[in-house]
Amino acid sequence: MIIHEGNYQYNVYDLAHKFGSAIEIFLPFVIEERLNHLQDVFADNIKHFGYKGKFTYHYPMKVNQNKEVVLPLISEGAHLEVGSSNELWLVKKLWEEERFHSKIRVLCNGPKTERYLQLVNQLRENNLAIIPIIEDIEELRLLKSFKGDVGIRINLKSKVQSHWDHKIDRYGLTADEIMEIGRIRNLKILHYHIGSYIKAENDLIICLKEAFQTYAHLKKLNPSLDTIDLGGGFAIPYEKKKMYSVESAAKRIISVLRDLSDKHGVPHPNIIVEWGRYVTAPAQLSVFKVIMTKDILKATAKKWYVIDGSFMTDLLDTWAIHQKWHVVPINNMTAQKRHKVWLAGLSCDSDDKYTASDGYVLLPRTEDLAPGDDQYIAIFDTGAYQDAFAMHHCLLSSPAKIVLQNGIVTVARKRETPEEVGKMFGW
């Protein structure tokens, strides 16, 4: 398997041999390409439809807080969104180290603890463009004296197909509750978030139309309001099956907002999206070695392939939300004879497995390998959430991480030793 970056190329099999497995291979150039493409697509549609508002991308740091992810994004013009005081502390660190300029805006979502609010005020006083998003009436009270711009989160009635449990509403205020508030000092943004991994493009548009109704009414009471934040949730084709595209979604978002704005007689609002998965997921692949096999009786698969990593610790979404991935061999790729297999991780937990959406993964037979050779596999699109969710079940070590950029291979994180893992638990 070869990864291409312009005139550079990297052999994944050679990298696995050199650095060992399990290993995560991170590709900053993919992040940069996808962010630039997203910005270009919205810019093209804004021009095409004669749209008067501006587009801004805010990266939600919860998706992946690694330095290798965040720094390339802000260097390419991404703004930020945080969901906790610790994420905001990281922004403070970047700000103090002069890693980004004053034009970068930071949206602050999530419950506002005392420490969180202290950091918000401190950074605002230091001239960082920071915008807290009001989640409930108590936060409205706490932010009453805040001198900068604020946003407010609306809890929409529309339901969508996504990974998010939306049976009970936890975040934001209803449209009625927001309208009862009336004027809100320095209100800049109407924000909503409808779910993670939204499966249908039309759900994006249905929710946008609902949110705009409140926006149009709120605008009359709050002239400073000029932005709609669509939140995150943009899906990607993990299994390489056809899905809606960023091109079609952007076209519909711009055209719908233009038509609704003109109909209601309000200026075209600025647009924010927080599509973190779209930008980061394809920028990483996880590589594992098959270390043993075992026959399976009476199942859709014939063999267990045990890998030198863990789905429960390294790819937690496999277990938590039954995420399906695109899995391929990185060597012995031309093998004609293949096994229907289930993949198993190194923990002692029976849920530490991957069976794929078809009930099996088709991989080369290990018995056909050359003497002394091993079978390696790659799991694509692991750059979103998996690092943030990773844990140490059975005290298993995290994979090493290498970064490929400009023809240079850099070790960003070595594989943890038993001593290093033990220290995390007080030993």
In tens digits, the chain (427 residues) has pLDDT values of 999 999 999 999 999 999 999 999 999 999 999 999 999 999 999 999 999 999 999 999 999 999 999 999 999 999 999 999 999 999 999 988 888 877 899 999 999 999 999 999 999 998 899 999 999 999 999 998 898 999 999 999 888 776 665 555 678 899 999 999 989 999 999 999 988 888 899 999 999 999 999 999 999 999 999 999 999 999 999 999 899 999 999 999 999 999 999 999 999 999 999 999 999 999 999 999 999 999 998 888 999 999 999 999 999 999 888 999 999 999 998 888 999 999 999 999 999 999 998 899 999 999 999 888 999 999 999 999 999 989 999 999 999 999 999 999 999 999 999 999 999 999 9
What DSSP state is assigned to residue 13?
H
Residues belonging to the chain: 427
Q: Is 407 helix (H, G, I), strand (E, B) or coil?
A: coil
Whole-angstrom distance, CA of residue 289 vs CA of residue 375: 6
Give the relative orientation of helices 28-48 and 246-264 as an angle to the nearest 10 degrees. 40
* CATH top-level class of 2-26+283-424: mainly beta
Q: Where in the chain is the domain with CATH 3.20.20.10?
A: 49-274
Fold topology of 49-274: TIM Barrel (3.20.20)
Q: Is 186 helix (H, G, I), strand (E, B) or coil?
A: coil
Whole-angstrom distance, CA of residue 203 vs CA of residue 188: 25
Q: Is 423 helix (H, G, I), strand (E, B) or coil?
A: helix
> Checking DSSP bridges between strand 227-229 and strand 187-191, what pairing results, if any?
parallel
Q: Where in the chain is the domain with CATH 2.40.37.10?
A: 2-26+283-424
Cβ contact 131:103 at 8 Å:
no
